[in-house]
Structure 1
Amino acid sequence: MPSPSVCRWRHLSAIACLSLALPCIASADDQLDKLSQDHNQWVIPAGNYAGQRYSGLNQITADNVKNLHVAWTMSTGSLRGHEGQPLIVGDTMYFESSFPNYVYAVSLKEPGRILWKFAPQQDKFAPSVACCDVVNRGVAYANGVIYANALDGFLYALDAKNGNVKWKVQNADPKLGQTQTMAPLVVKNVVITGVSGAEYGVHGYVTGNDAASGKQLWRAYSTGPDDQLMFDPDKTIDGATQKPVGKNSSLASWQGDQWKLGGGTTWGWYTYDPKLDLFYYGTGNPGTWNPTQRPGDNKYSMSIIARSPETGKAKWVFQMTPHDGWDYDGVNESILTDSTIDGKTVPTLTHFDRNGFAYVLDRRTGKLLSAKKYDAVVNWADHIDMATGRPVLNDAMMTKENVNVKGICPSSQGSKDQQPASYDPNTKLFYVPTNHVCMDYQAFNVKYKAGFPYVGALVNMYPADHGEVGGRFIAFDPISGQTKWEIKDRFQDWGGALTTAGGLVFYGTLTGDFRAVDIKTGKVLWHFKTPSGIIGNPITYTYDGKQYVAILSGVGGWAAIGLAENLTKATEGLGAVGATASLADYTNLGGTLLVFAID
């Protein structure tokens, strides 16, 4: 019987570890935490539980990256947007396409050889209620099992060896406007997933399923009474005030039963702190987009919540954008690091919110430590009041029913949407793909009907200052608020970032330019034109002693919804079409996996 330390070695996959020695896997989070420390693999969607998307591999460097070339490629079989990344476990790569959500296991011994393919049978209605393309953000792994969300709301547990379905469970119902696009997170033998659909009046929630059986262990909603939120009014802390939230704090912030259609969906990236035993995620916009119809702070949409993975109970909550009037979903990732605050080292959470502010919170309590703009054009609010945690609003940019408010920055896509940032522990900077886009926003009254759009706003987006720059890739210090360097791009930078110990940061553009950048200077050292635009997230790994970099190419997502669905009117696609009207001049649809190496 092998010892638990055997699990750490990359050439013994977790599948073998499971079959040989059950004591080796006391809990999924313990196993994954150890496996993720082996940078030769990539076993968690964000690289590690902290969501840093950093690799300690350094064969590919600023000096030799010019020699990077295509090692192998394969088609994903799907034309729509690919917002995820592959996983590497032992000698196998796993990834999921956009709808129809093909899941692949690919051999690294024989690159490109498909060991198995899973094609779920789905509710054909699901794509019609996916507001912002039929994207998928990747699979999760634990204990010899691949966990995959399908658009129609089913979560599948697949045997990593052969792709056989071990169990499936439905966590969302498209007939109610609910879909699933996020990558699951596995913690303590619990598979944690969220839900999409705020634009259809969905009552947002996060679900914990038993990793072995699929049984629902708990479900916690974003809005409503305390029992549905899984809040203890005397123990759950309001991060802004550092006091207990009090009884039915969410209900008190809504008018009537509007909370039942309250949005707060949970489709972004999740992170986890094993020491504190808390996982962190963000909630999305309230329903509708028309703020006049929902007076109050609309808690707890637009919030970061810390919960126990085993029980679902909330430890603390922090709301970024009370009474959202701009669709500034709070679902973006929360990256866990240690920060120096007033000379003291603090365990922090850094969150680049859609609203244009980079929040730094003490992840133990949700206390606000810093909130700085990371794009100078942000004008809906002047700053964040550090005493209250609330934005100091620019009243001229507050939307209201039947008024066309012009020149709001950022747009509803935010200064950054779901495209994940990365962190480098050497420079202690964050590398952030951003949107440099503003909007006009006219709210109107809308009625709810299950499965039908429940938006209530006409939006038109365009590059800031109506200029030629729609995206900025930046190196940013969230404590000082200083941008160390930036790369300006024609369109939004909708793909994620990867930093490496080789002194590089990788990212891709909507036009399909995959780049390696000097992490200190921002100089582009290498680039490659991929077959389609990039909204996916790069990873790196080694096999047989050689370092590889992989990326999913396949334009789409909300940024490129016009190209994905052949929309041409500027206000279509919830206003996104205007910002990328000329994207078809630079790229086309089509999902491809590309893997690069140096000889």
Structure 2
Amino acid sequence: MGAIRFACEAEARSSSGLAAAVLAVLLLPVTAAAQGAGGEWTTPSGTVQGTRFSELSQINSANVASLVEEFSAPTNAVASHEGQPLVIGRTMYVVTPFPNKLIAFDLDSPGSVRWTYTPGADVYAHGVACCDTVNRGAAYGDGKIVYNVLDTTTVAVDAVTGKEVWRVKLGDPHRGETMTMSPLIINGKVLVGNSGAELGVRGWVQALNLKNGKTIWKAYNTGPDAEVLIGPNFKPHYAKDQGTDLGVTTWPGTLWQQGGSTAWGWFTYDPTLNLFYYGTANPGVWNPSMRKGDNKWGASIFARNPDTGEAVWAYQLTPHDGWDYDAISESIVADLKIGGFPRRVLMHVDKNGFGYTLDAKTGEVLVAEKVGLATWAQKVDRTTGEPKVISEMRPHQGRITENICPTPLGVKEFAPSAFSPLTGLQYVPAINACNNFEPLKALYIAGTPFMGADLEFLPPPGGYMGELVAWNAAKGERAWSVTETLPVYSGVLATAGNLVFYGTLERWFKAVDATTGSVIFQTQLECPIVGNPIAYSAPDGTQRIAVYTGVGYLAGGFAGGPCPAAAQQGHGPSPLAAAVAKLKTNAGPKPDAESGMVHVFKLP
């Protein structure tokens, strides 16, 4: 059972619950209040702004305790189910982990399948995926369901017939490239990025034509300005990010060519500014002694024009990343009042432990405070944009650096947060863990692990490893948190019913009061939850909540192993899974399960 921690007990007691929250949302600017999904869920985060906020309120804090399961359906796949379904009209679309089948469920006959599309994925990709053979979901546009296959193929499927419309191969698994992220569709373009930083690939993003899959533009995340699509309109806010060809000059020799900095996380978009945002992964080899310099543009956030790919600004959160602090977390677009003035902002809780509130137009840091335990840096200097790194916490080859917090899993990993305009809070799935870290000499061989690291997880501070944190991004402070025994690896859904939904590695699916954090509903499912809940309107016009179950070898290591147990038992090329397994944590006995599942809940 989770324990609630209030940052301010007085504020919590003064809340008048759902009525006050509904009044609050009515008083917010239209731009913020409109950033919610309606009866359908057509894009990975519900909205292009990345809010994961549903405007549906039939299920609310007054009645959610009575939720019942309407149906559950197998995906006939194992490994971590990290994405979320789409719902368009009377059909639910589910993309499975490898081999990445697309299943169309008939919502008029709950649990029945209209059709299944099989992309014919190259099995070679299964063996080079860094950290489980996952898929983070699809996007819908122009009558097509579009998603990425692990083997670096992007496919478009007719949403009605299930027939393939187009497919395009974008990378080479034999060189270590894979694709796990969910696309974002903007202005007739499909925005995608690659994975594989742990194998020394070079990160990129591309825009594909939604009609035929042809590449419109491609931008690398390391290398010369011409290849990063940095031109005269590139205006970073901070001096540390200004200069010519920094994607080359901040690296030794030609190591930028194996510089990682992939874009395997979440993309968001501001329709007003016509900018899309994404974060980049670690700068290649984990051993920082092998790559002196800031290593741009690893561990950075980019703002780009989706029509041209041109970079408008960039901000490197963790220069010379020596801790594997990818910046791939979502950057949610919203309107907040900062210092008494309304600002269009990005809310980004980074692996490195800081919650950043950035000006969406310029990349200026407006707020940067610690969301969780971070021993590697004192603070972020808002004048320079630089983190104030504690020197003894910088890893170096030849010695073990002890008690680094957070671990390479971060205070927040890939699991996406949600933002509610009703409460003004960002709801963050968090991890509370520290480690000892030793960089090792690594040799680059294409298509093999290029990491150079050994690490050991330590007993969690405070005796718990996970939290759901309600974060006030305008002030840089916690409102409340719910602690969990194991890391919170599921995504979060906020709704107009003053609710927040999430799942745990102990198999609990929960709903909490968005204002106070009180747990109102929970039910234990057959496998741990690393998927992202969604809300939608069923054909009968009433609200539903859906979520996946099923976990693979990495996150499953915290929970006593994969579930279903048939999931891959190996550790993959990353040292993370082996370190997690040594902790010997356990979520207790698991019922027999043969497949990942999608579960759907409704009111009686």
State TM-score, norm by structure 1: 0.91
Q: Deviations over 1:72-131 (max 9, x none)?
A: 110011111011001111111111011111111111111112111011212111111111
Give the unaligned 5+ runs of structure 2: 1-31, 563-567
Are 2:472 and 1:477 equivalent residues in the alignment?
yes
Change (3 A) 1:349 1:435: same
| C-alpha displacement of 1:367 | 1.1
**Shift of the alpha carbon at 1:461?**
2.0
Question: Do the aligned partners of residues 298 and 585 (structure 1) sit closer, same or farther apart at CA in structure 2, a change above 3 Å counting?
Answer: farther
Structure 1: gaps of 5 or more residues: 1-32
Query: Could you tell which deviates more after superposition, 297-306 or 395-404?
Result: 395-404
Q: Decide which of 383, 388, 394 is 1:392's aligned counterpart.
A: 388
Aligned to 2:42: 43
Cα contact 1:372–1:479 (8 A) shared by 2: no
**Which position in structure 2 is the counterpart of 1:92?**
91
What fraction of aligned residue pairs are identical, expressed as a percent? 40
Work out the CA distance in 2 between the residues paired with 1:199 and 1:473: 28
Alignment deviations for residues 430-451 of structure 1 (CA, whole Å, 9 cap, x no partner): 1111000111111011010011
Match of 1:426 among 411, 422, 428: 422
Which piece of structure 1 moves more, 488-497 or 553-562? 553-562
In the TM superposition, what are the counterparts of 1:555-566 in structure 2 within 5 Å?
555-556=551-552, 558-560=554-556, 563-564=561-562, 565-566=568-569
Match of 2:254 in 1: 257
Structure-2 residue corresponding to 1:468: 463
Classify 1:572/1:312 alpha carbon distance in 2 versus 1 (closer, same or farther; 3 Å): closer
Does the 8 Å CA contact 1:303/1:321 hold for their aligned counterparts?
A: yes
Question: For residues 471-502 of structure 1, what are the alpha-carbon distances to aligned partners after superposition, in whole Å with 9 as ceiling and x for unaligned?
Answer: 01111112322211111111110001111111
Please name the residue that 1:444 is paired with. 440
List, as ranges, runs of 4+ consecutive aligned residues in structure 1 with deviation greater than 6 Å.
33-36
C-alpha separation in 1, matches of 2:535 and 2:45? 12
Partners of 1:285 and 1:576 lie apart in 2 by 20
Query: Is the 8 Å Cα contact of residues 36 and 44 (structure 1) preserved in structure 2?
Result: no
Once the 2 structures are TM-superposed, how far is the Cα of residue 556 of structure 1 from its aligned partner?
Answer: 2.7
SS at match of 1:238: coil
1:597 is aligned to 2:594: no
How far apart, in 1, do the equivalents of 2:307 and 2:322 lie?
Answer: 34
Equivalence for 1:516: 511
* Matched AA of 1:237: K
Among 548, 571, 585, the residue aligned to 1:552 = 548
Provide the residue aligned with 1:526 in structure 2: 521
Q: How far apart are the structure 2 equivalents of 1:79 and 1:531?
A: 13
SS in 2 for 1:49: coil
The equivalent of 2:158 in structure 1 is 159
Q: Is structure 2 residue 244 aligned with structure 1 residue 239?
A: no
Match of 1:577, SS?
helix
Distance across 2 between alignment mates of 1:166 and 1:34? 35
Tell me what 1:582 maps to: 586
* Secondary structure in structure 2 of the residue aligned to 1:322: coil
Q: TM-score, normalised by structure 2?
A: 0.90
Deviates more, 1:486-495 or 1:579-588: 579-588
Aligned partners of 2:453 and 2:575 also within 8 Å: no
Q: 8 Å contact 1:105–1:117 — kept in the other structure?
A: yes
Deviation at 1:587, TM superposition (A): 7.1
3-state SS, counterpart of residue 348 of structure 1: strand
In structure 2, the residue matched to 1:297 is: 294
Q: How far apart are residue 172 of structure 1 and its match?
A: 2.0
| C-alpha distance 125-199 of structure 1, shift in aligned 2 (>3 A) | same
Residue of structure 1 equivalent to 2:14: none
**SS of match in other structure, 2:73:** strand
* Contact 1:197 1:263 (C-alpha < 8 Å) held by counterparts: yes
Give the 5 Å matches for 1:327-342.
Answer: 327-342=324-339
* CA distances 1:289-348 after superposition (whole Å, capped 9, x unpaired): 000000000000100001111111111100000000000001000001111122211100
- Cα distance in 2 for partners of 1:78, 1:523 equals 34
**Deviation at residue 249 of structure 1 after TM alignment:** 1.9
How far off its partner does 1:566 sit? 3.0
Question: What are the superposed Cα offsets for residues 30-89 of structure 1, whole Å, 9 maximum, x if unpaired?
Answer: xxx999866111111101011000111111111111110100110011111011001111
2:446 matches 1:490: no
Q: Which amino acid aligns with 1:394?
A: I
SS at structure 2 position matched to 1:560: helix
* Matches of 1:156 and 1:317, distance apart in 2: 30
Partner in structure 2 of residue 59 of structure 1: 58
1:78–1:517: structure 2 CA closer, same or farther, 3 Å change rule? same
3-state secondary structure, aligned to 2:392: helix
- Against the structure 1 CA distance between its residues 372 and 38, is the aligned structure 2 distance closer, same or farther, given a 3 Å change threshold? closer
Cross-structure match for 1:346: 343
Structure with more relative contact order (C-alpha pairs < 8 Å, separation 6 or more): 2
In the other structure, the counterpart of 1:29 is: none
